[in-house]
Amino acid sequence: MTEEAGLRPPRGTAPRVSIEAKDDAVVAAGAPLARLRDAPDVCFVAPMAARVARVSLLQGHRLSEIVVFRETGGDAIVHDTSGADTEAGLRRLMQRAGFWPWLRRRPFGGMPDAKERPTAIVVMAADTRPFAPDPRLALDGLEEAFGRGLRALALLTDEAPFLCQQPGPALIDSADGQKAHVVSIGARHPQGAAGLRIHALCPAGLDTPVWDIHAEDVAALGTLLETGQLPLTRLVSIAGSALRESRLVRTQAGADLRGLTYRSVLPGAHRLLSGSPLDGHAEHWLLPRDRQVTALPRDPSRPTRHWLTAALTRSASARPVIPSAALDQAFGGALPAAAFTRVLSAGDDETAMKMGILSLLEEDCALADYVLGDDGHLRQLLRGMLERIRTEFAA
């Protein structure tokens, strides 16, 4: 637990909300701080018993962040779980307990709509990103709750959920085995990238949304169903080359990254990322779905280049991507990498949709961007194309 925490909507979104808690009010853990305007059941909840410090909204009541200070000895909200054996009751419980922002939908990313019914749900019990905490460790001792959460998720969709895990002992007992497709995946990144798994298992489309969720959150759902209290802490790995030592901690969503790292950081300027070194973003708070904090030394400031060198090396357009074995492996063989890269650079939306771009998000291209070095702009291209597809096909 850190002394401060910041509540933020999922990255890239700014939903319209109505604020529930006034400044300086003391709230219990799990108490709603904000609700969506369009769907008042969907709540953003306090990650700990806390005093509300600051609420920042963008224009039009769009949520930017809510900062809270920890209060010792506060109590926790207990939800009524009686209706949770029906789909509508389960949805209402998940939304009121603040579980909804932990889901992510594809295409386009972000939190699903309150009424959306997914074609499939993919539970990621494997994370292959560098420094990622092992989900098996997070699930240790929670097998029963995990099985209960998985059975509950099966209510939300027609098809049984997919469970992606690394080889090893079964995470669910054989009775649940029929209720979930267990998929075994390798240990090397990007095999644990959710987008590439979805692309291979059940591609997302405009009318066929697919949700993905981390296995630890499924166990939290199981605990919520049993006790009425949503566990708000999660296993987070703190690593990176600007730290003296890396460690695993249990902390709340929205934890203050400086509070988590200030004891172990090396002297000198550094950057704190919420997320892995590949796809993390410089943030103040741990984002809702992230389970990694990465501290990297800040780049030494480059000397300004001579105008002649700049004129000779700076090109009018980005340099092309050359197909190589490194690029193929950065997509794990899930899709024709070079052809996909060319389609992205050319801005050919329809071919990209045929290739399955709707299953992908920025984080799935992060390894390719890293591998390509200075020539890698796939994430910007992908986001631009997704936004274009969204506006074109919404009309």
Partner 1 sequence: MNRGIWTRETVVVLLLLAYLPLALFWLWFGNIQDMHRLALALLVLAIWQLVFLLARAQPVSLSAGITALAIAMLAPEGLGGVRLILGISFGAVMGELVFGGWGRNVVNPATVALSFLGFGFPGFAWPEILLPVAWAAIPAAAIGLMTGVMPAGVLLSAALGATGAVAIGVLPGFALPAAGVVLVLLVADPVTSATTRLGRWLNGLLFLALVILFANAWHGAAPVQFAVAAALLTSLAAPVLDEVALALWYARRRRRHGRH
Report yes or no: 32 and 43 within 8 Å, Cβ to Cβ: yes
Q: Which of 16, 250, 354, 388 binds partner 1 (CB under 8 A)?
A: 354
Q: Which of 115, 141, 167, 299 binds partner 1 (CB under 8 A)?
A: 299
Report the nearest approach of partner 1 to the CB of residue 204 (Å).
10
Q: Which of 353, 360, 386, 389 binds partner 1 (CB under 8 A)?
A: 353
Q: Is residue 378 near partner 1 by the rule CB under 8 A?
A: no
Q: Is residue 388 near partner 1 by the rule CB under 8 A?
A: no
- Give the 3-state secondary structure of residue 394: helix
Q: Is residue 205 near partner 1 by the rule CB under 8 A?
A: yes
Residue (174 or 301) nearer to partner 1, CB? 301
- CA dist 154 → 3, 85, 149, 161, 254 (Å): 37, 11, 9, 6, 28
Kindly state the tokens that stand for 323: 């197909």
Distance, CA of 128 to CA of 17 (rounded, Å): 35
Distance, CA of 221 to CA of 282 (rounded, Å): 29
Looking at 28-83, list the stretches that DSSP marks H as alpha helix, in order from N- to C-terminal side. Answer: none
Residue (255 or 321) nearer to partner 1, CB? 321
Residues with Cβ within 8 Å of 224's Cβ and at least 6 positions away in sequence, in order, are: 79, 81, 93, 94, 97, 99, 230, 231
Q: What are phi and psi of 289, to 5 degrees?
A: -100, -5
Residue (56 or 324) nearer to partner 1, CB? 324
Q: Is residue 235 near partner 1 by the rule CB under 8 A?
A: no
Stretch that binds partner 1, among 19-27, 37-45, 83-91, 316-324 (CB under 8 A): 316-324
Residues with Cβ within 8 Å of 357's Cβ and at least 6 positions away in sequence, in order, are: 340, 344, 382, 385, 386, 389
Q: Is residue 317 near partner 1 by the rule CB under 8 A?
A: yes
Q: Is residue 375 near partner 1 by the rule CB under 8 A?
A: yes
Q: Which of 22, 302, 306, 314 binds partner 1 (CB under 8 A)?
A: 314
| Radius of gyration, CA atoms only, the chain | 21
In this structure, are strands 292-297 and 233-239 parallel, antiparallel, or unpaired? parallel
Closest to 194 in 3D by CA, of 123, 134, 140, 131: 123
- Give the 3-state secondary structure of residue 243: strand
Q: Is residue 334 near partner 1 by the rule CB under 8 A?
A: no
Q: Is residue 158 near partner 1 by the rule CB under 8 A?
A: no
Q: Is residue 370 near partner 1 by the rule CB under 8 A?
A: yes
Amino acid residing at 52: V
Q: Which of 316, 391, 392, 394 binds partner 1 (CB under 8 A)?
A: 316
Q: Which of 60, 174, 307, 325 binds partner 1 (CB under 8 A)?
A: 325
Report the nearest approach of partner 1 to the CB of residue 242 (Å).
12
- For residues 71 to 90, the per-residue mask of contacts with partner 1, x marking binding by CB under 8 A and - elsewhere, is --------------------
Q: Is 313 exposed, middle or buried (0-12, 13-18, 19+ CB in 10 A)?
A: exposed
Residue (175 or 316) nearer to partner 1, CB? 316
Binding site for partner 1 (CB under 8 A): 202-203, 205, 208, 277, 296, 299, 312-317, 319-327, 336-339, 342, 353-356, 370-376
